[in-house]
A and B are shown apart, each in its own frame.
Chain A
Amino acid sequence: MNKSIIQVNQLKKDFYVGEITVHALRGINLEIKQGEFVAIMGTSGSGKSTMLNILGCLDKPTSGSYFLDGISMGELSKNELAGLRNMKLGFVFQSYNLLSRTSALENVELPLFYNPKIKSKERRERAEAALEAVGLSDRMHHMPNQLSGGQQQRVAIARSLVNDPVVILADEATGNLDTRTSFEIMALLQDLNQKGKTIVFVTHEADIAKFMTRQVVFRDGHIIREELVTNRNNAVELLKALPIDETA
């Protein structure tokens, strides 16, 4: 039995916009174990991003408990949460969020700058290794505007890997990419998952969710369905099946 990485009980999140209260999450119970590749699905506005942001310690729940890697999030200060994001979490955003006019290598180094224990030599080595892991060893010194969308997302994935997090959180990470490039990213993530990384991936696309091991479906702030993926797709094989000269 794998150990539990994420453990959420009766998690609620309300937003107050003027007079109106938006119940974005209405009591979520969820457990994610080490080595899982979980798809969080649901229609727009169902609370997926809100959930992921709380899992990522970017936002605090209104009520409920959350344990990350055995640590209770409820009592932690702002700075402790930042430390946790730095050591235990990796983020991949839909819009890549790379620093412009900053090389791929320096972008990947970024999280390590906020870890005072890591010296510049180790920082460089780890960033190079992470870029190598996403297949971009030859693009290290390129600026984001010299890279394709897929390559930029790979840089972002390398950045999320570089601190060796216990879980990678991705929000619509393939949302801006075409089918082929999305599959390439999925192949990369499947490979990372194969090597033991726990990944939580928010998507509303059913065929993307098919690459993962488990699907959790949200609607209106509730989990309405949870199931293991039976006919799991293999991204590498699907890529081979795609016509080579596919255009747009």
Chain B
Amino acid sequence: MNYLNSIKIALNALKRNKFRAFLTMLGIIIGVASVIVMLAIGQGSKKSIQDQMAGMGTNLIFAFPGGEQKGGVRMGNSDAQSMKLSDVEAIEKDCPAISDVSPEVRSSGQAVVGNQNWPTSIFGVNNKYFNIRKYTIGSGRSFTENEINTYAKVCLVGKTVVTNLFGKINPIGQTVRFGNIPLLIIGILGEKGENGMGQDQDDLIMAPYTTVQKRILAITHIQSIAASAASENLNAAAIDQLTKSLRSSHKLKDKAADDFQVRSQSEMVQTFSSISDIMTALLGAISGISLLVGGIGIMNIMYVSVTERTREIGLRLSVGGRGNDIMMQFLIESILLNVFGGIIGISLGIIATKVMSSILNWPVVITTISVVMAFLVCSAIGIFFGWYPARKAASLNPIDALRYE
């Protein structure tokens, strides 16, 4: 058998019916293009979520009081006041995998300057917190140890707060009142924009945790602990060490459940990534169905064309074509249709993706894998759906085929 000849024969046969070949390919073209587009959207949204999460600090670890609930049953003690500053100090000592750790106390309320007021949150933290949450000091300075120790009435403000309360005036050196406590603004936080969930990360005030504890909330415990692992691959170790440290600080017995929960940013990234993976798979599956329909369309046309071209097959058999030659011709025709259709579909899909990202401003990512996959699937469909009609053509008897009306 001569494959080159088979390919030539198949190409000639397709050339004889250019328009039908094109119509046949249309299903595959649309199927492949939609697979490419859908996967690009899915991958794009995954990537943008990951990027935004990374902007929030991938090494971030949170611990907050309250045992885990399993099926509505609280597994550990849930004393909301169980976290103390001493826990933070213990973590600082016990956990080599954790580079920075800060207590966190929060309150919401109105920030007031003169006759302007703005609803926002105040975060009580230490000065490692900026590093942990990837905040920068835009201008001014951070608070000092001394200011923390003396519950100093100082704060840093985010961009949104500045815009809403001061307009164009430089707020450094000015005073803002929060819960009736006047706080001296010593710095402005660098702008961070929205996070992955659309929250404005610049709408906040940061003050020493002691100030928020004593002057605003009048509490002695802390609400949560923020820490960051020394590096991304130390995340698991950091969580482990932090958990152990907290358990020993809280004097929990071996069998007792945690009276706190630990969450890490990388965990959240994973959760969101897997959500968008599911979405990608869903989109892919939907467009995969259209690819399947396209493949069935090709099978249909090939099948009809075997019947329609029975006399042609008879002629080919009579001049010495073997069953195998006929089979190869139809199989190759089907593969060529799919592969050509696939190439056109891939190009169309890439163009559509580019257009969409530039007009609608959607995040899209075209991966080589999705292109290669689409291509392989097309070839496979060509073989799979070409096989049956090709077998039928090859099994024809020369004389029956020639006599076919």
Contact = CB atoms under 8 A, between A and B. Distances in A.
Contacts of B317: 58, 82, 85
Interface in A51-94: 53, 56, 58-59, 78-79, 82-87, 91, 93
B315 A79 contact: no
Contacts of A111: 319-320
Given A58-B318, A110-B316, A79 B323 contact: yes
Interface of A: 53, 56, 58-59, 78-79, 82-87, 91, 93, 97, 99-102, 106, 110-111, 113-116, 159, 163
Interface stretch (B2-10, B163-171, B206-214, B370-378): B2-10
Nearest to B2: A116
Contacts of B399: 53, 58-59
Nearest to A54: B399
A171 to B, nearest CB: 10
B369 interface: no
A97 B311 contact: yes
A85 B17 CA distance: 28
B320 A85 contact: yes
B202 interface: no
A159 B319 contact: yes
Most chain B CB within 10 A, of A87, A91, A99, A100, is at A99
B258 interface: no
Max chain A Cβ within 10 angstroms of own Cβ: one of B16, B314, B322? B322
Contacts of B314: 97
Contacts of A101: 16-17
13 contacts: A56-B318, A58-B317, A58-B318, A59-B399, A78-B323, A79-B323, A82-B317, A83-B320, A83-B322, A86-B320, A102-B12, A110-B319, A163-B319
A100 B323 CA distance: 22
Interface of B: 1-2, 5, 8-9, 12, 16-17, 311-312, 314-325, 398-399, 402
B319 A85 contact: yes
A78 B319 CA distance: 13
Nearest to A87: B320
Nearest to A59: B399
Given A78-B323, A115-B320, A159-B319, 17 more contacts: A79-B323, A82-B317, A82-B322, A82-B323, A83-B320, A85-B319, A85-B320, A86-B320, A86-B321, A102-B12, A102-B16, A110-B315, A110-B316, A113-B9, A114-B5, A114-B321, A116-B2
B186 to A, nearest CB: 85
A82 B318 CA distance: 7
A114 B315 contact: no
Contact of A58 (B311, B325, B398): B398
Contacts of B1: 116
A113 B8 contact: yes
A91 B16 contact: no
Contacts of B9: 113
A159 B315 CA distance: 11
Contacts of B325: 114
A18 to B, nearest CB: 17
A116 B315 CA distance: 18
Contacts of A114: 5, 316, 319-322, 325
Contacts of B323: 78-79, 82
A111 B16 CA distance: 18
